[in-house]
Structure formats: C-alpha cells, structure tokens
C-alpha cells in the first residue's frame, strides 16, 4: 500500500453539500468546529441509521431466533463486513472493540502477554498518544521487557536509521506506532516501518486513530500485524473501535476479556473459547454503534470517498499552515508541508497559555483544544509544555480558518 492512495481522478468534495448534513451548523451561534481530531461531528445519515435500526430492528445479537434477533444479527454481521471493507480488511480479521484504546490494550494483554518476555524490547515513538504508550509501559513492567523510544526531530519526524539500530539488537518483538500523530500531524512512514520490522522478525501495531478519518487506508496492503482505529473520529458514534489482526496471529491469541459470547463450552471448572474474532468480543457488543459506524463508512463514500475528503483536508491544512504560519508570535509544531501531515495544526501563541487561547477563541464560537492532547511525553520531548490544536474535517472551510486566525489575533491583542 502507499500511505495515501493516489486515485487517478479523485472526486471533488462538494463542501456545501457536506455541510448541509451536519445539524450543529444550523445553530444560530455560527459554531466553527475545529476539534474533529478529538471527535468528529455526526452527519444526519449516521444518526438516522442508528435511529432506524434502534427503533425497528434492534435486539441483542448472537443465537437469538426471533425475527428481531435475526435482523439484528444480520445487521451486525453486515456492519462488520462494511467496516472491514472500508479499510481493505476482512471480517475474519476485524475485531469490534469499544475504542482504539481498548484495541491496543487487547493486543497488550493477549498477543504481547504471550509473546513478549524478560529481556525483550518494544519500540514506540515519542509522539505516541497515551493510548499507544501506557499499555506498553505497563506490559514491559509486568514482563520485564524494555520500552524504547524513536526520537522525534525538530520537523516532527522519526528517524528510520534509529529504528534499524533498535531492530539490529535482535530483541525487538513489537514496533507500535501512530499512523498520523494527533499533535504534530506527522504522517509516519508506516509501510517502511512494517517492511523493516518484519525483515527482523518483529511484529508491528499501527495506531490508525487519526489516519482512518482523513486518508484512504488499506490495512491488507499495508501488512501490519495489528491495526487499530476508533469510530467516533470517522463521523461515527462513540463506544466503538476496531482492531484488525492478521489471521495467522489471531488464531493463536488468548482471549483478553472473558465472559458471555466469547465461549464455546462452559463447565463448572473449565471453559473452551470461541474461535475467530468472537473470542475477543466478550459481552454484548456495541450493536447500534456498529450499524452507525457502517453508515459512516457509507456516508464517506456517498460524499465522494476518502480520497476526495483527503484532498480537501490537505488543501485546508496547507491554507492553515500558511495563514497561521504568517502570523507573528505563532509557532507551529510538526512538518511544514501539508502533504506530509494529517489535517490538524498544533501551535503555540507566544506569551499566551494554550488554555487562555482556547477560551478566548471560544468567545467567538471557534472550537479548538488546548493542553497536551494525551501526549505528555511528546510535549516534554519537544520542550513545549502545552499546545493549542485546531483539527479539520470534510466540512471545514477556509473561512473557518480565517475565523480562527482573527480570533487568535484577538487573543494576542488581549494579552498585549
């Protein structure tokens, strides 16, 4: 896979038509939502699909025989297939979780607990979200393994030579890395990471939380052993995440959570487990949410597809980099070329704390996020205590970036 598929003739996004599908844009305040990196707004067709399924076809899934149970089973299975196909995977390699955080914990408590031991190493990068850092820190502590960090340079990039150096030591069992950083915006060369890690016998987990909502991703072609992402950033509901696991690894992985739905036979002292993805879906799964996430995949395709959304967001990001980069007293972090990054810009306004920045721009209904964005070690590594982050989506316009720039100028005026 190339990181971003280059379609021969990408459809153009009709941004006005996209915007017409978001109810929050009908509010009288004129909200400028630049916080999609934290969670995306939900278009009407996604909400309608959940409403219709929840009202007309809902029952619990798995083994019910009445009409509604059969309809719910059919819908849940179809949703898994749709979600898998959206990123080039298959239903038998697609586990439904509650979030990407749970997906990564599943790998840490299942595959890694069985395959990483004392003296082994796990490699992650300094730019990881806590979701792809804390589980590995805890695992290493439990089993006596060592956690190694790929450093981030001043342009926000990792160094593949450093990765090779770690791999050459022969102890690396897993490389776990973000596809797109949620602070720097860096799009990591995950294809190359997979190639190099596999050549040395290491497995690779990719955290696709920020990538799947903004660029075409082909999990099958990428060949990572584990690829996780989260529904609520792809215009879908909260409460659902996805973990793709290569079939040959999945077959040998022990369960993570245990209980109903993931079993074969349960006796008073022994239990045998279900095979396949069901072994990792203990308890009632997020059924309505799966239907909603499948509808979000349909919605993306209906408005022109991920390649069109990506092209639009790249243009918006380029505009934001130019507009904010031209302002005195604003320092952007991460790569300066929009083609190398995801659809977000984090920055520092000299002399103004990011929380004050966020509060002042919020007075103009501009919604951004301030703080460390669940990436505290990264902020320590780049020597910046906190940043303000604006993140973009299919509905973002240049006028909204202008509104952000004007609001930032206001913050600068207020703080002298």
Q: Which is nearer to ligand PLP, 58 or 86 (CB)?
A: 86
What is the smallest separation between the CB atom of 93 and ligand PLP, expressed in angstroms?
A: 20
Q: What angle do CA 346, 351, 355 make, to 5 degrees?
A: 55
| For ligand PLP, the closer CB: 396 or 412 | 396
In this complex, which beta carbon is closest to ligand PLP, that of residue 73 or of residue 207?
207
Cα–Cα distances (Å) from 132 to 106, 139, 147, 300, 343, in that order, read 12, 12, 12, 26, 20
CA distance 286 to 375: 27
For CA atoms 344, 186, 99, 141, the dihedral sign is: negative
Catalytic, out of 140, 297, 367, 374: 374
User: Distance (Å, rounded) from C-alpha 224 to C-alpha 194?
Assistant: 6
Q: 131 or 346, CB closer to ligand PLP?
A: 131
Residue with tokens 């060369």: 189
290 versus 403: smaller Cβ distance to ligand PLP = 290
Both structure tokens of 58: 């809902």
Q: How far is the CB of 96 from ligand PLP (least distance, A)?
A: 13
Of 58 and 392, which has the nearer Cβ to ligand PLP?
392
Distance (Å, rounded) from C-alpha 176 to C-alpha 204?
6
Closest distance to ligand PLP from the beta carbon of 363 (Å)? 25
Give least dist CB 241 to ligand PLP, A.
6
Q: Which residue has tokens 């844009």?
A: 25
Nearest to 82 by CA among 246, 292, 228, 248: 292
Show the tokens assigned to 354.
């990011």
- Which residues, including other chains, have CB under 8 Å from residue 382's CB and lie 6 or more apart? 152, 333
Rounded to the nearest whole angstrom, what is the least distance from the CB of residue 229 to ligand PLP in the complex? Answer: 9
Residue 276: CB atoms within 10 A of its CB come to 14
Q: Which residues contact ligand PLP (rule: CB under 6 A)?
A: 99-101, 129, 131-132, 178, 182, 207, 209-210, 230, 241, 374
Q: How far is the CB of 6 from ligand PLP (least distance, A)?
A: 24
Q: 346 with 184: CB under 8 angstroms?
A: yes
Cα first-last separation, the chain: 49
Q: How far is the CB of 210 from ligand PLP (least distance, A)?
A: 5
Is 297 among the residues known to form the active site? no
Q: 182: which 2 tokens? A: 């949620």
DSSP state of 169: T
Name which of 242 and 361 has its Cβ closer to ligand PLP.
Answer: 242
Among 111, 415, 49, CA closest to 243:
111
Sequence-distant (6+) residues with CB within 8 A of 380 are none
Catalytic residue set: 374
């Amino acid at each position: 896979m190339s990181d971003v598929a280059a379609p021969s003739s990408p459809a153009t996004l009709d941004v006005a038509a996209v915007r017409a599908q978001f109810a929050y844009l009908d509010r009288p305040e004129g909200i400028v939502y630049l916080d999609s990196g934290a969670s995306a707004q939900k278009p009407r067709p996604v909400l309608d699909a959940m409403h219709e399924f929840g009202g007309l076809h809902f029952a619990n899934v798995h083994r019910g025989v009445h009409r509604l149970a059969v309809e719910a089973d059919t819908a849940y299975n179809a949703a898994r297939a749709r979600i898998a196909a959206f990123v080039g995977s298959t239903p038998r390699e697609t586990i439904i979780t509650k979030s990407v955080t749970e997906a990564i914990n599943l790998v840490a408590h299942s595959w890694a607990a069985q395959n990483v031991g004392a003296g082994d190493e796990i490699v992650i990068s300094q730019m990881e979200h806590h979701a792809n850092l804390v589980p590995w820190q805890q695992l290493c502590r439990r089993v006596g393994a060592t956690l190694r960090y790929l450093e981030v340079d001043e342009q926000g990039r990792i160094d593949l030579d450093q990765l090779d150096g770690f791999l050459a030591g022969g102890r690396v069992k897993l490389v776990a890395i973000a596809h797109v950083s949620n602070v720097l915006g860096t799009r990591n060369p995950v294809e190359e990471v997979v190639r190099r890690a596999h050549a040395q016998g290491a497995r690779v987990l990719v955290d696709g939380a920020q990538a799947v909502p903004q660029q075409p991703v082909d999990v099958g072609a990428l060949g990572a052993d584990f690829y996780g992402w989260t529904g609520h950033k792809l215009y879908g509901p909260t409460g659902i995440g996805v973990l793709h696991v290569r079939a040959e690894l999945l077959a040998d992985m022990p369960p993570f959570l245990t209980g109903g739905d993931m079993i074969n036979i349960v006796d008073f002292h022994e239990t045998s487990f279900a095979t396949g993805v069901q072994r990792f879906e203990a308890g009632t799964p997020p059924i309505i949410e799966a239907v909603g996430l499948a509808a979000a995949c349909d919605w993306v395709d209906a408005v022109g597809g991920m390649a069109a959304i990506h092209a639009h967001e790249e243009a918006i990001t380029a505009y934001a980099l130019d507009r904010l980069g031209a302002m005195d007293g604003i320092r952007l972090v991460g790569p300066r070329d929009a083609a190398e990054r995801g659809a977000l810009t984090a920055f520092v306004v000299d002399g103004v704390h990011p929380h004050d920045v966020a509060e002042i721009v919020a007075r103009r209904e501009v919604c951004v996020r301030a703080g460390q964005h669940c990436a505290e070690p990264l902020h320590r590594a780049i020597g910046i205590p906190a940043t303000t982050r604006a993140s973009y989506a299919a509905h973002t316009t240049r006028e909204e970036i202008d509104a952000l720039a004007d609001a930032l100028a206001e913050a600068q005026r207020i703080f002298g």
